[in-house]
Structure 1
């Protein structure tokens, strides 16, 4: 499995040799268009994953070039505010120096969105629980996960409506 992950990350990095760096003022309409395109690309055509990434994005509210210090000494990087704790792990996956990964997380919106996808999907694989994985994206601490997940749900409902992922089907196929 690690080999597949490494090849996917390497393909992602190679595909970004001409990265979509945005040097415009943070929060500009152009930056937001770039971030939206990157989220769409990172979702790999899976509507549920795209919605998830939007929920995380809306909660995190980062920007291209962001480096926000946390009280524990880590930093939240880029539009999806990927925690710097992940830099060495991602660097190992893409076989690139941590300094490069940190730079890409801050300034390359597509690399940042793909890293956010990887962090979320890693948590989902580990837990098998969608909402737990959303919480883990933010923190390893259970009470912080719960608070974060509740906030992400609010953002998802604001963006996509109360029925975020479509009608719930019963065993008989009815709503």
Structure 2
């Protein structure tokens, strides 16, 4: 089975982002861009000025955890290594894309902030990163590895001792030539 050469420090982020995007039927390059932009690490907690914290690899804001507590989801779940934090972030992005008002990029930037100024700054950077990831995904798919790719993540937990599989045939991403209205 073919494999792709991804630097070990990025394997989990890339594999988990693409898998979570496919699971929640959202563009893979958007989840990859958010993951890169957030740049968190397992176990990381960053205090915000409003008293909330951004937690884990996807810097998931603790304000969302109030909604998730009834399902038994804890801050420790969000902070851990592995794909679960990426699943939660992709779920949150899918909710923003489905329910929020505005263009796609404003909705996605709501993951960071709904405040227009901070949303706009985040959105501009996210669009650049998403375009870069779209190029990467294009090159990846043109490399002939479109069905299944195996990547061996760094062994962080026992559940990741075997290769993870990406089913690229069902993956979608936003093309590079997206224009955004200023509505």
TM-score (structure 1 length as normaliser): 0.67
- The residue that corresponds to 2:111 in the other structure is 137
Structure number having the greater strand percentage: 2
Q: Note the C-alpha offset of 1:103.
A: 0.2
State the Cα deviation string for residues 20-45 of structure 1 (Å, max 9, x = none): xxxxxxxxx54532222211221126
1:61 is aligned, of 17, 22, 39, to 39
1:34 is aligned, of 4, 12, 34, to 12
RMSD of equivalent CA atoms = 2.7
Q: Note the C-alpha offset of 1:106.
A: 0.3
Q: Note the C-alpha offset of 1:48.
A: 5.3
Match status 1:52 vs 2:30: yes
In 2, the alpha carbon distance for the partners of 1:168 and 1:106 equals: 34
Structure number having the greater helix percentage: 1
Q: Which has the higher contact order (CA 8 A, sep 6+)?
A: 2
Change (3 A) 1:73 1:131: same
Which has the larger displacement, 123-132 or 71-80?
Answer: 123-132
Q: Note the C-alpha offset of 1:50.
A: 1.3
Gaps of 5+ in 2: 1-6, 139-172, 179-183
- The residue that corresponds to 1:108 in the other structure is 81
